[in-house]
Amino acid sequence: MKEAIKAEAERLGFAACGFARADAADAAGADLRRWLEAWHHGTMGWMETRADQRVSPLALWPEARSAIALGMSYAPGSDPMALAGARDRGRISVYAQGGDYHKIVKKRLKALARFIVERAPSELKVFVDTAPVMEKPLAEAAGIGWQGKHTNLVSREHGSWLFLGIILTSLELEPDRAEPDYHCGSCRACLDACPTRAIGPAHRIDARKCISYLTIEHDGPIPAEYREAIGNRIYGCDDCLAVCPWNRFAQAASANRAFIARAELAAPALADLLALDDGAFREMFAGTAIKRIGVERLIRNCLIAAGNSGDPELAEAVRPHLAAEDAVIAEAAEWAMAKLQAP
């Protein structure tokens, strides 16, 4: 049964597939509670609200017996850091430049679930990262990879570029050997690359400092102490992933074609983005993960990037936002104009 599942998973576009007991990652629940108690989740209240379910798959679904962990590659075909010096361009995280992985991965998970039920009638549930399931510890227990010092999963074959999905099932499936987590050794590449020093010791990250959190999850003003470090990143940050030495084994050819970067998202002009209204924003980002943050948050991010650009020509794109009804946008525009030294 396991071999049949793995073969079908590969046919559906999953680059990795492993099996674990449903309770294999219970120790991660204690780490989660300590992380929440330290308020490292920032304003992500949903992490705390459903913590009791998140600590263990059995807390979410007591009938679960096995977990099938799956990974779909989104390895980029170009250097994720290539736009670091492009003053007039916005940098979008690799994972968000193509189709929305939530929809794509979930559709394939459901197809695999149907395959399983047809061959072995059983109960099962599928999860991407919108549900209170700790995918990374389960994937580690299933032998897909290990959690690196940056807390993301790292694979020998696919580096840091994997979208994860989980199928919980009532079937008793023999677990695979867990991947030991010593493969990072003394390497500090991800820690040293983090622009805001958000990555701490013991595989712990403070979301309140993380650029991905600040540009995606955080809905208020971006704290002043992190604005310059954001540079021209307008949605997410790839730095800790991009520098991982294990990525030399990742092959862009193995990535799912649905995640290939859209031309208009690979290097968008900040001036064009700052001119978007809600309708144009929805049209441009339809079918992507970016759509969920809304036009206001994207404009806020682009204003910070414009201020960091040092390009006075962007002042004209910033100026209209000084009169924005949204106080967060108006303040970000004032900051950007001051940085650009424009009246």
79 is catalytic: no
Measured distance CA(112)–CA(60) in Å, rounded: 21
* Annotated catalytic residue within 26, 31, 129, 311: 129
Residues designated as active site: 129
